[in-house]
Amino acid sequence: MTTPPRPLALVTGASSGIGREIADRLAREGHDLVLAAEDEVGLAAAARRTGGRGVDVEQVVGDLRNGSAVEELAAAVGDRPVDVLVLDAGVGVGGPFVEQDVADVLSVVDLDVRSTVHLARLLLPGMVERARGRVLVLSSIAATMPGPHQAVYNASKSFVQSWAEALQRELSGTGVTVTSLMPGPVDTDFFARAGLVGSLMGKGPKDDPADVARAGVEALLAGKRKVYAASPLVKVVGGVNAVLPDGVKAVLHEQVAKLR
């Protein structure tokens, strides 16, 4: 009797932070992996770690802000069915909108929004055709509030959150599920890369990326619609934000995101 092939998971943003932990967790769950990121060295280290779990790991290096890199990543999968698609790659940028570097702002749109939609559009049809697949979208608690001093980032997460919830409806009954992972502040490179280390948010308590990844992968494999992760405080903020007026949330966000 031949052993059935292991399921395949493709993870973007796999070189660090939440994506790296998600990749490791999926490897422990017995998935072969296609790992994508821009940083070759970080990606190779992540691949060594997941490969140590006894699964096959392929690395695809590319700047996903470019549509051609997204197409190359989708093509790297070849004919293999993708069972799990994790859309994690993302960056933020802090500061008042009119003072932000225009290239930094457009990077958020190109990576967090454009590449996410592009890769999903290339890989989802195959999943629907096979009537099998699980998609994890890295949204954020930021999707639940306007984000003064991080305006474009919060808007990008509102975009992917709305898009994921629409796909959940469109794909119901197809065998393909879409799960939105909504973390609060997580202890990764995110704040340094976004220039937000000096903000209250940057200095405040953060969740362990491994805990966030565990919650995300559990929700993904269970086919849940969304999960706030990982600490109880994040779940409380998610619940409270559902009823707070947007104007109040904007003032609160400004306080935590403003550089001190």
Ligand X SMILES: NC(=O)c1ccc[n+]([C@@H]2O[C@H](COP(=O)([O-])OP(=O)(O)OC[C@H]3O[C@@H](n4cnc5c(N)ncnc54)[C@H](OP(=O)(O)O)[C@@H]3O)[C@@H](O)[C@H]2O)c1
Residue 228: active-site member: no
* Smaller CB separation from ligand X, 17 or 148: 17
Does position 189 interact with ligand X (CB under 6 A)? The reply is: yes
**H/E element holding 151?**
helix 151-170
Which of 90, 147, 202, 238 binds ligand X (CB under 6 A)? It is 90
Q: At its nearest, how many Å lie between ligand X and the CB of residue 98?
A: 22
Q: For residue 64, how many other CB atoms are within 10 A of its CB?
A: 26
Q: Which two tokens stand for residue 131?
A: 């009537």
For the record, the structure tokens of 47 come out as 């691949």
Amino acid at position 130, single letter: R
Please, what sign has the CA dihedral across residues 32, 87, 236, 231?
positive
Among the listed residues 7, 8, 11, 13, the single contact to ligand X using CB under 6 A: 13
235 binds ligand X (CB under 6 A): no
H/E element holding 14? Answer: none
> Binding residues for ligand X, how many (CB under 6 A)?
29
Q: Is 218 in the site for ligand X (CB under 6 A)?
A: no
* Catalytic residue chosen out of the listed positions 119, 146, 153, 156: 153
Question: Parallel, antiparallel, or unpaired: how do β-strands 133-138 and 226-229 relate?
Answer: unpaired
Q: Which of 39, 129, 170, 246 binds ligand X (CB under 6 A)?
A: 39
Q: Which residues are 10's β-sheet partners?
A: 34, 85
Binding site for ligand X (CB under 6 A): 13-19, 37-39, 42, 63-65, 88-91, 111-112, 138, 140, 183, 185-186, 188-190, 193
